[in-house]
Amino acid sequence: MTTDVTKRNTVLGMSTFGFTICFAVWVMFGVIGNPIAQELGLSETQFGLLSAMPILTGSLARLPVGILTDRFGGRPVYALLMLFTVPPIYLISYATSYWQLLVLGLFVGLAGASFSVGIAYVARWFPRERQGFAMGIFGAGNAGAALTNYVAPTLVVLFGWQFVPTVYAIAMLITVALFWCLTWNDPNHSRGDTPSLREQLQVLRDPRVLKYCQYYSVVFGGYVALSLYLTRYFIAEYGVGIQLAALIASIFVLPSGVIRALGGWFSDCFGAHTVTWWCMWASAICLFFMAYPHAQLLIQTVDGGTVSVSVGLNIWLFTALLFVVGIAWGFGKASVFKYISDDFDRNIGVVSGIVGLAGGLGGFFLPIMFGVLIDLTGVRSTVFMLLFGVTAVSIAWMWWTERRPTATRDRAAPDSGSEMAHRSG
């Protein structure tokens, strides 16, 4: 007879594997979109829309899928969701026009909704003191973006971009079969412990949900956006080929996905607020320097001449800062969901759905905004100016709602004690 510990660990392993494949599918246009853009003559804005189209449906579906998970359990919802994406993934191989790719991208994007299912399904198998670590391991499936960066460019070079969707459709079908055979139903749903639809919807009015949405739109939305855009950024900014560009981009993508498990453990040990606060500051500092464009400064000398000075980050320093941002956001992705498991343990599915939706919408709008900013200004570092701005908003919001009230209470406590002592005297 299979023990509860074995079931718990198997569910975690298979859910993480499934999410890795789903995430690889979700962001594949970030790689195959480059030869498509060249073939169809797309602008930066059109490329941004194409790469972000799957992110839109994956984001919008996260809330209803989260509600369904709370109602019916993670196993059936997860399996059906993955199975539904197989046909549109395969049909991408036969698309010949831009509009066909956009429409198919919408259906393929449902793979991104797997996060809302998996995070709730996994969390309910673990006690609260270990939920942060378990959700962090599951969230490490974000490394599926790195899988695409490693595999897809080689397939594109050897067989053409049309071969990539065919391989991904077969991989998704195999994943569904393995997941269904090696998992069990959610124990809470087996006992009938499910919240009502009214209770699920009421929790969305809690102001903390909106705040967590903002945090996640930075650490996850920014991660998805850069996962989609970095290959193109390295090709255009530093003049490297698609395989090398994707390989360098994986220095950001892979650690940021894998480190999420460690971020969950840190969140269990030190609290969600502490981890989120420091990850926001670390990423903001790096983004500030990455946002500075390449420039030539002409300095007047005392003898009437000029000295030209080049200002900007070379590819190695830029990649080092990018690596730090990836690590910080990897921790942040885990800590935001530690907030949710602490505050909304009975409604993890619906709250993770709305927070995941916000993060996914960040991943949808940001690549489009990247393309628009570059088309308008001609400056590629505007990508990081935008990311710095949204990170600064999160830091300000966190200080105003979490750190400032705590500091105020700490200052007020001694004063109250002194006043009571004075009155007693």
Transcribe 99-121 into DSSP letters: HHHHHHHHHHGGGGGHHHHHHHH
Decide: 207 and 351 in contact? Cβ < 8 Å: no
* Residue of 405 and 191 predicted with greater confidence: 405
Name the DSSP class of 200: H
d(CA 164, CA 156): 7
Q: What is the pLDDT of residue 5?
A: 79
d(CA 41, CA 425): 83
Kindly state the tokens that stand for 296: 């030539």
Q: How far apart are the first and last CA of the chain?
A: 69
Cross-strand partners of 298: 308
User: Which class is 4-409 in CATH?
Assistant: mainly alpha
Main-chain phi, psi angles of 126, to 5 degrees: -125, 150
pLDDT at 422 over 50: no
d(CA 9, CA 16): 11
d(CA 136, CA 143): 12
Highest mean pLDDT among 238-247, 277-286, 373-382: 277-286
Kindly state the tokens that stand for 278: 């420091």
Q: What angle do CA 13, 14, 15 make, to 5 degrees?
A: 95
Kindly state the tokens that stand for 42: 């797309």
* Positive/negative CA dihedral, 208, 344, 263, 185: negative
Decide: 391 and 287 in contact? Cβ < 8 Å: yes
| pTM over the 0.75 mark | no
Q: Which of 259, 220, 18 is nearest to 122 (CA)?
A: 18
Q: Which of 53, 109, 47 is nearest to 370 (CA)?
A: 47
Q: Which of 125, 57, 77 is nearest to 350 (CA)?
A: 77
Q: Which of 117, 70, 15, 141 is nearest to 344 (CA)?
A: 70
Q: Which of 118, 132, 137, 135 is nearest to 75 (CA)?
A: 118
In the chain, domain spans: 4-409
Q: What is the pLDDT of residue 167?
A: 94
Q: What is the pLDDT of residue 193?
A: 56
pLDDT digits (tens, 9 = 90+) for 201-224: 677 677 788 888 889 999 988 988
Kindly state the tokens that stand for 246: 């994707």
With both helix axes pointing from N to C terminus, report the angle between 144-159 and 221-238 in degrees, rounded to the nearest 10.
Answer: 40
Decide: 126 and 8 in contact? Cβ < 8 Å: yes
Residue 420 Cα distances to 407, 417, 423, angstroms: 21, 5, 5
Name the DSSP class of 296: E
Q: What is the pLDDT of residue 190?
A: 52
What confidence tier does 389 reach under pLDDT thresholds 50, 70, 90? Answer: very high
Lowest-confidence pick of 72-86, 147-161, 173-187, 203-217: 203-217
Q: What angle do CA 161, 14, 103 make, to 5 degrees?
A: 35
What mean pLDDT do residues 48-75 have? 84
pLDDT at 17 over 90: yes
Q: What is the pLDDT of residue 409?
A: 61
